[in-house]
Amino acid sequence: MTTSLQDGQSAAGRAAARDSPLAAQVCGAAQGRGDARDLAPGPWLHARALLPPPDATRGCAADRRKKKDLDVLEMPSIPNPFPELCCSPFTSVLSAGLFPKANSRKKQVIKVYSEDETSRALEVPSDITARDVCQLLILKNHYIDDHSWTLFEHLPHVGLERTIEDHELVIEVLSNWGMEEENKLYFRKNYAKYEFFKNPMYFFPEHMVSFATETNGEISPTQILQMFLSSSTYPEIHGFLHAKEQGKKSWKKIYFLLRRSGLYFSTKGTSKEPRHLQFFSEFGNSDIYVSLAGKKKHGAPTNYGFCFKPNKAGGPRDLKMLCAEEEQSRTCWVTAIRLLKYGMQLYQNYMHPYQGRSGYSSQSISPMRSISENSLVAMDFSGQKTRVIENPTEALSVAVEEGLAWRKKGCLRLGSHGSPTASSQSSATSMAIHRSQPWFHHKISREEAQRLIIQQGLVDGVFLVRDSQSNPKTFVLSMSHGQKIKHFQIIPVEDDGEMFHTLDDGHTRFTDLIQLVEFYQLNKGVLPCKLKHYCARIAL
């Protein structure tokens, strides 16, 4: 039945082709392409083909409809000005071409805070890394890039904080935050971020490191670091930690063992037998955080706490809290977990700090200026010809002499204006000029000074100068050495009516604190090491 109807329609087309050349072209094109849409709308054409054959009473009506269709075919074709609106009734009325193409790199606005709680809003692409955000803030604020600037994730409701690794996507970190959580991103320096690549001996104490296989002879800290980066061998970190019992406020001291597969604890003393080891946490779906107020927030026995937190948003009950006896122990655990989780990626971040996933790469962003010590040379301009001072001792003495001469000129320029009190004004100026220095913190407590140094990394030579709380006329030099913070009192000494500062009971005297800091940046003196990095509170 269907075949007879189709044959009848083909015959009608051939008849129309004999009457009109234009209809012949249209029919020929349709038959050549096998496309019936140029002849008549497809859906109702096929619907008619499925109907029963017309009876004799409806023959005249069918002839009239056929003649009307032939008249339509004889009309010249007009191009459709809106092809996107012509579609099948069985498809959507709106075409996908009407909508703009989605941008593969959507931009979002993030807010970054500094230590003084000032903030800056940045519009960034969705695939921007933590290193790229740091680069943007460095360029916008004209800071010197010494590869120590870091982005931190701060969770105030649980008192936790962690370093966001340079390769991590910032938008992914923000997506794990809860809607009601007041979490923040902080931008500040962290000198200890990759310090374990430079001085691994400070991060892996011998009594905390063991090996799953037998080793021949002693293993240096550098070899231990290489084992962490390799996939075949690995060292084991072990020791006692205080663990918070799940759902309770009490803490229990347990022997823990860190392996590549995760963190385990022993149910029987210090036994490492598999039947005595129970799984505690893995690294793939969790991040390692440092506790900022463990005693206050969680009732921890010490202030050296850290914990595992799931990547997805969760409450305090999902935290796996741990606590070490000292800062060196906590640093060893956290560093080892970072190495086991990220491996060679951390080393690539350290060796190639400008390789980012987003558009802010090494080709588009470069450091503002070089701070390499090899790019600076000592020059002598005293003679008729300038020369490079190659002797280090001579260069140091020339620098000290020029510094002293510059200070004398500065004091005379600031204090001597023909007044009888020029000497006292000069002395007061030299005593107060240190207040404008970034390493000086006016009235902060001993605990606040320790917190600032810990935040910016327990690296040898990190320091700050502050007012003494016990003696208002003295100052205190707080510095880091050997994973510990030490404090040295700067005592004022008077000689012939002039005031000096000293750290060694007057054997070495300085006219002001700037001269004292610069001296100990070049010389160890009575300090355990030279002053290298100053703690500063920056503003965005």
Give dist(CA 501, CA 512) in Å, integer: 6
Considering only 215-219, 303-307, 313-317, which range has the smallest mean pLDDT?
A: 215-219
Give dist(CA 84, CA 91) in Å, integer: 12
Superfamily holding 432-532: SH2 domain (3.30.505.10)
Strands 440-441 and 462-467: parallel
- Decide if pLDDT at 167 tops 90: yes
Find the farthest-apart pair of alpha carbons in the chain and give their distance in angstroms, rounded.
136
Contacts of 26 (CB under 8 A, 6+ apart): 38, 39, 73, 77
Give dist(CA 86, CA 155) in Å, integer: 55
Q: Are the beta carbons of 516 and 539 closer than 8 angstroms? A: no
Helix ranges (DSSP H) in 162-292? 170-175, 195-198, 221-229
DSSP letters of 50-73? TSPPP-GGGHHHHHHHHHHHHHHH
Query: Tell me: the pLDDT tens digits for 106-147?
Result: 889 999 999 888 899 999 999 999 999 999 999 998 888 888
- Decide if pLDDT at 434 tops 50: yes
105-187: CATH topology is Ubiquitin-like (UB roll) (3.10.20)
Q: Are the beta carbons of 160 and 286 closer than 8 angstroms? A: no
Please report the pLDDT score of residue 420 as a whole number. 41
Pick 59 or 253 by higher pLDDT.
253
CATH 2.30.29.30 fits 192-211+219-349, yes or no: yes
Backbone angles phi, psi at 523, to 5 degrees: -130, 140
Residue-range domain boundaries for the chain = 105-187, 192-211+219-349, 432-532
Q: Are the beta carbons of 254 and 324 closer than 8 angstroms? A: no
The neighbour count for residue 285, using CB atoms within 10 Å, is 10
Label residue 222 by pLDDT band (50, 70, 90).
Answer: confident
- Decide if pLDDT at 200 tops 80: yes
Give dist(CA 70, CA 350) in Å, integer: 79
